[in-house]
Amino acid sequence: MAENLCSSLCPATETKVFFGSDIQDATAEDGSTYSDLPAAFLYRERLVSGCTCNGTHTGLAKLPAESDPTLRNGDIVASRGSLDVFHRRKRGTANFTPVRKDLRLPKRLRSSLAKMRIQPPD
């Protein structure tokens, strides 16, 4: 699944999944390390012209929550100013309900999460 997600975010290039608690030492199943890639850490320096997976300055791809294939029913997502609960409808459309209104959550959890304030990014 992880490899498919990476490929969908970077369709114009070969993708490989690296594992490890520190990217510096992350290793792929074939034994290669992320640090040994020619483009390792390039995202920290600049965006690559024409690259299909240019993300943010932290290397994260911009992916609308509605299109995120990793979301599962009941996942809680921070949106602008609130926390929302994700549910996929039968026809595949995404639905986000503010936690304070989602009756599928236990009342105590709903109340606690509804009090949280989300700081919009700078």
Say what the pLDDT of residue 60 is: 57
Length of the chain: 122
Say what the pLDDT of residue 117 is: 78
Say what the pLDDT of residue 53 is: 61
Say what the pLDDT of residue 119 is: 72
Say what the pLDDT of residue 79 is: 78
Enumerate residue ranges in the chain where pLDDT < 50: none
Say what the pLDDT of residue 116 is: 83
Write down the pTM of the prediction.
0.51
The C-alpha atoms of residue 13 and residue 10 are separated, in whole angstroms, by 6
- E strand or H helix at 2, and its extent? helix 2-9
Say what the pLDDT of residue 32 is: 92
Please, which contacts does 55-59 make with residues 24 or more away whose CB atoms are closer than 8 Å?
Answer: none
